Amino acid sequence: MARVCDLCGKHASVGHKVSHANNATLRKWMPNLRHVRALVNGQVKRVTICAKCLKAGKVMKAPHKTRVKPAMPAVLENASVAA
């Protein structure tokens, strides 16, 4: 998996870590990526999005999966009596 934001293309950047003695060694700054279920063209897909895009609302998160529960007869009777 590439560590790249699917929306903005943000990826790792490379630079130097500089010590107090001014010694420079290479290091990487990684983007803050999140795996989210999002609506893409009307379909639910898992996408890798950076936290900045997620916070800015550039992605529509998919609704949670819900399980249909059978209605209890006693609850339905009480609801119809109260109404």
Residue partners of 64: CB distance under 8 A and separation at least 6: none
Whether pTM exceeds 0.95:
no
Share of the chain above pLDDT 70, in %: 78
Please say if the pLDDT value at position 71 is more than 90: no
Q: Which residues pair with 13 in a beta bridge?
A: 29
Contacts 24+ apart (CB under 8 A), 69-78: none
Structure tokens at 54: 């997620």
Per CATH, the number for 1-64 is 2.30.170.40
What is the average pLDDT across 37-48?
92
Structure tokens at 49: 């999005």
**CA-closest candidate to residue 49, choices 62, 32, 64:** 32
Backbone angles phi, psi at 23, to 5 degrees: -80, 130
